[in-house]
Amino acid sequence: PMQPTVFGADVLEVGCRDGRLLAALLAQNESARSATGVERIPYWSGESAGPAWHTSDAEGALELHGDLRTLEAFDPDSFDLILCRDFESVFGLDDLEVGLRRLYDLARPGGECILHVGCGSGDGVEAFGSGYGFLTPTSWTMLMMRAGFEIDARRVSWRDEVQHARATNRLPFSSDDERLASSVTFRLLRPWEA
């Protein structure tokens, strides 16, 4: 729904799971130029009960890396599109701002970043997990902007009534919109710098 530009793009997916989304982006008619995936565990090899498959069967330039430290090896301004479907499972709370800034640095000026993040329910602070237990759409927005991104679009998913009641008890000073938000998908742009 965020309609990122894929045609001719160098794509990075952080938390790529088994890498099949990247393979699909390379195989479609107006495809990406290259696709690189980084994940904690190489699920594509069958580890942790992942669905093993032969990545050599993928069309185009597909690279998959089973170590998050690989993110530090990439040159700045390397990717036109960065995807992350579960930010909090990739970056721990201690690495939150450093991780966002690293994604910003890896995006080319004018590049896009699609990030999906969870919103905390106020259950407490967690090192990993949805909104780290306390982040709301407003705090996520502030963090994205502090990393340097411009927010082009955001899409909010809402909690059900039971989850909203729990969040209301645990986040009494937040607005209803903040407590109702279950997750947010951001379409971020790295601006052209002067």
**Where does residue 83 rank: exposed (0-12), middle (13-18), buried (19+ CB within 10 A)?**
buried
DSSP label of 133: G
Nearest to 23 by CA among 47, 43, 48, 3: 43
Nearest to 1 by CA among 164, 170, 153, 188: 153
pLDDT digits (tens, 9 = 90+) for 56-115: 666 668 999 999 999 999 999 999 999 999 999 999 999 999 999 999 999 999 999 999
How does residue 121 score in pLDDT terms, banded at 50, 70 and 90? confident
Q: Determine what percent of the chain falls in helix, strand and coil, rounding each to the nearest 5.
A: 35, 25, 40
Q: Which of 13-27, 145-159, 161-175 has the lowest mean pLDDT?
A: 161-175
